[in-house]
Chains A and B, each alone.
Chain A
Amino acid sequence: MNPAPSVIIFTVLSGLGFGFLAWLCSGIATPVGLHGLLGFALGYGLAVGGLVASTFHLGQPARAWRAFTQWRSSWLSREAWVSVAALLAAVPVALGALAGREPGLWGLVAAALCLGTVLCTSMIYAQLATVPRWHHPLVPVTFVLFALAGGAILLPLPGAAAVLSAGLAAVLAIGFRIGDGRFAGAGSTLATATGLGGIGAPRVFEQPHTGGNYLTREMIHVVGRRHAARLRSIAVAGVALPALILPLLPSVAGVALALCAHLAGAFAARWLFFAEAEHVVGLYYGRRPLPEKR
Chain B
Amino acid sequence: MTCLPGHTEKKLGLVIDLDTCVGCQACVTACKGWNDQGYGAPLSDQDAYGADPSGTFLNRVHSYEVQPQGGAAQIINFPRSCLHCEDAPCVTVCPTGASYKRIEDGIVLVNESACIGCGLCAWACPYGARELDAEAGVMKKCTLCVDRIYNDNLPEEDREPACVRTCPTGARHFGDLGDPDSEVSRLVAARDGYALMPELRTRPVNRYLPPRRKDAREEASLLAPLLDLQAQGFAGWLDRMLGKMG
Contacts and interface: CB of A to CB of B under 8 A. Distances in A.
Nearest to B214: A199
B113 to A, nearest CB: 8
Contacts of A59: 115-119, 132-133, 136-139
Interface residues of A, number: 59
Given A73-B93, A208-B63, 18 more contacts: A58-B117, A59-B119, A59-B133, A76-B118, A76-B120, A124-B93, A130-B89, A190-B64, A194-B196, A196-B66, A200-B67, A200-B69, A201-B67, A212-B54, A213-B54, A280-B126, A281-B125, A284-B128
Contact of B208 (A130, A195, A218): A195
Nearest to A75: B93
6 contacts: A68-B95, A73-B92, A129-B89, A195-B195, A196-B78, A208-B60
Interface string A57-73: 11111011011111011
B131 A205 contact: no
B205 interface: no
A116 B3 CA distance: 22
Interface in A127-186: 127-131, 186
A159 to B, nearest CB: 39
B198 to A, nearest CB: 7
Interface of A: 1, 57-61, 63-64, 66-70, 72-77, 80, 124, 127-131, 186-188, 190, 192-196, 198-209, 211-215, 218-219, 279-281, 284-285
Interface string B164-205: 000000000000000000000000000000111111110000
A279 B127 CA distance: 10
Nearest to A78: B95
B200 A67 contact: no
Nearest 3 interchain pairs by C-beta: A59-B117, A59-B137, A66-B96
Contacts of B194: 195
Contacts of A1: 123
Contacts of B124: 127-128, 130
B213 to A, nearest CB: 9
Contacts of B55: 213
A58 B137 CA distance: 8
Contacts of B75: 205
Nearest to A195: B194
A77 B80 contact: no
A60 B2 contact: no
A151 B137 CA distance: 36
B125 A201 contact: no
A205 B117 contact: no
Interface string B55-87: 111001111111111000011101010000000
A58 B115 CA distance: 10
A63 B116 contact: yes
A57 B98 CA distance: 17
A199 B65 contact: no
A122 to B, nearest CB: 14
A208 B139 CA distance: 20
B211 interface: yes
A271 B189 CA distance: 47
B97 interface: yes
The listed residue with most A CB atoms (<10 A of its CB), out of B92, B128, B197, B201, is: B128
A82 to B, nearest CB: 13
A186 B98 contact: no
Nearest to B213: A199
A245 to B, nearest CB: 37
Contacts of B137: 58-60
A112 to B, nearest CB: 22
A205 B64 contact: yes
B122 interface: yes
Contacts of B210: 195-196, 198-199
Contact of B200 (A69, A124, A129): A129
Contacts of B208: 195
A84 B63 CA distance: 48
B1 A188 contact: no
B196 A193 contact: yes
B123 A284 contact: no
